[in-house]
Amino acid sequence: MIDIAGVSWTYPHAEAPALRDLDLHIASGEFVVLCGASGSGKSTALRLMNGLVPQFHDDGILTGTVTVEAAVTTAVELDALGLVTGTVLQHPRRQFFTDSAREETAFAMENFGFPRDEIRARVEAILTDLAERVPIEQRLQHLSGGQQQQVAIAAATAHDPRILLLDEPSSNLSADAVRRLTTTLAELKAAGVTIVIAEHRLRYLEELIDRVVVMRDGAVDIEWTAAQFRAVPDAVLAKEGLRGQIRSPDVPLLPAAGRSMVEQAQAEDDPSGTLLLDGIRCRLGGRTVLDLERVAFAAGEVTAIRGVNGAGKSTLARVITGLQKSAGTVRLDGRVLSGRARQRASAIVMQDVQRQLFTDSVRAEIDLASADAPGAPQTTDVLAALDLDHLAERHPLALSGGQQQRLVVAAVRVAGRRIVIFDEPSSGVDRRHLQSICDQIRQVAAAGAVVLLISHDDDLLALAADRQLVLTPPAADRQLTPVHAGGNQ
């Protein structure tokens, strides 16, 4: 089905190859997980299989041969490979061609010339299922990252590809969405689809996999069968930088929405460093996506923002940082902040960090972020803490997804802002670097900032969070249900 024979690949303008003499065979109907540290070549291996390497990155250097369903990928058109493969990127908005779930689901079939009646029937069947968990009438740009990911999976499988390639598909999904993803993958496997997943979180897949391939420095390092993988102790996974059993976060709930709560009264009486949100309501596309009566966040603490996909977590981040208009007021130190003032006071690590890279080197990115921050940590120290010092002169867009994630975390670390939000900062991050990101988050809080951590990653929350605010999704017409607290502050 898929044969990668002696392949080495160097991206355009890269100093070192991303893949080194890679040999990998994947049989028809096999379910294979590619794992390994950030930058080990997992995503690049997927790009070999769908032809994006080298046909999209056509200035790179390729040696060796890649064969997909008996076709050498360099000898066939990219659309021929697209007909037999479906691909889901880690950040799905990068692969959308339209702005609605209906159009996106139909897009590939239309381009491949499927009959109109067949397209219509397939789209309706897919959307009927998708509508149970995603507001499909909304524009794609108004959906949460996790909801976008679910649309991308539906669109990638609409034309019934025989091979499905997924890059970190669980990275932005809530626990219930991960369970639905697992069910979907099980159904596809039962239908005979060949599935290859690049992933850091492994345990949710252990009942589905046929093989686990651990990559290191662009080549295969270790291979485990499903039975072998289930018997691998957590200490061995840790040595390889792989995620093991998920740690359950045990942090108290943050009281919210109650105007007469003692904790809120205390916050208003002593407002120094407190971020207070009052009457925050935000509508997108005619639908209420966020409705908070009152909540206070203390400086020097890390507050986890949790909730299912579509509960309004990223919208809350945009409101606080002045990137999204809303009703209500935002106060810091007792003073109302305008949207522009919140932008100046805030820093954020977005889900798709590639949108936050502006310079031509890793070092320059950090220097830019710290330019207006007297007393900021030394660039070299922060880069070393996040294992980026050896990449200091590399162009940010030549980094792996996990390396880019750590770079933006480093930039936020040195920015010296009063309000700092991390939106899924561990997406695409291996076990070792998870701890280093946690350390940086804790140091931002220790410096006196209000720190909000939006994440579905229980491992990260167990390490970094002091308390949590759980958002509930809006009702069909308007979010009227307040956030309820069930623990102590």
* Dist CA 50 CA 174 (whole Å): 28
Q: Are residues 338 and 411 in the same domain?
A: yes
165 and 197 fall within a common domain? yes
User: Do the beta carbons of residue 86 and residue 153 sit within 8 Å?
Assistant: no
Residue 263 has pLDDT above 60, yes or no: no
Q: Lowest mean pLDDT of 156-160, 175-179, 243-247, 301-305, name the range.
A: 243-247
Same domain assignment for residues 173 and 217:
yes
Whole-number pLDDT of residue 476: 43
- Residue 255 located in a structural domain: no
Same domain, 32 and 80: yes
List the domain range (segments joined by +) for residue 317: 262-470
Q: What is the pLDDT of residues 181-214, one digit of tens each?
A: 999 999 999 999 999 999 988 889 999 999 999 9
DSSP-assigned beta bridge partners for residue 302:
451
Rounded-to-integer distance, Cα 385 and Cα 152, Å: 34
Over residues 96-121, mean pLDDT: 96
Side-chain-side CA neighbours of 144 within 13 Å: the count stands at 30
Residue 250 domain-assigned? no
pLDDT band at 255 (very low <50, low <70, confident <90, very high): low
Nearest 10 degrees: Cα torsion 274, 352, 134, 49: -160
How many structural domains comprise the chain?
A: 2
- Tens digits of per-residue pLDDT, 451-486? 999 999 988 999 999 999 999 876 543 333 333 333
The reply to whether 234 and 266 lie within a common domain is no
Sign of the dihedral through C-alpha 137, 90, 442, 307: positive
Residue 489 has pLDDT above 50, yes or no: no
Beta carbons within 8 Å of 128's beta carbon, 6+ residues apart: none
The pLDDT, as a whole number, for residue 262 is 32
d(CA 212, CA 483): 41
Residue 260 has pLDDT above 80, yes or no: no
* pLDDT for 402 beyond 90: no
Helix H or strand E segment including 367: helix 362-369
Residues 157, 31 share a domain: yes
Backbone angles phi, psi at 421, to 5 degrees: -120, 130
Which tens digits make up the pLDDT trace of 424-454? Answer: 999 878 888 999 999 999 999 999 999 999 9
Domain match, 397 and 364 both: yes
In terms of domains, do 165 and 297 share one? no
Within a domain: 321: yes
The CATH number that applies at residue 192 is 3.40.50.300
Residue 486 falls inside a structural domain: no
* Shared domain check, 273 and 223: no
The verdict on 110 and 163 lying in the same domain is yes
Does 106 map to a domain? Answer: yes
* Tokens linked to 286: 């005619």
User: Chain-centre distance of CA 217, in angstroms?
Assistant: 23
Is there a single domain that holds both residue 179 and residue 303? no
SS3 per residue for 106-153: HHHHHHCCCCHHHHHHHHHHHHHHHCCCCCCCCCHHHCCHHHHHHHHH
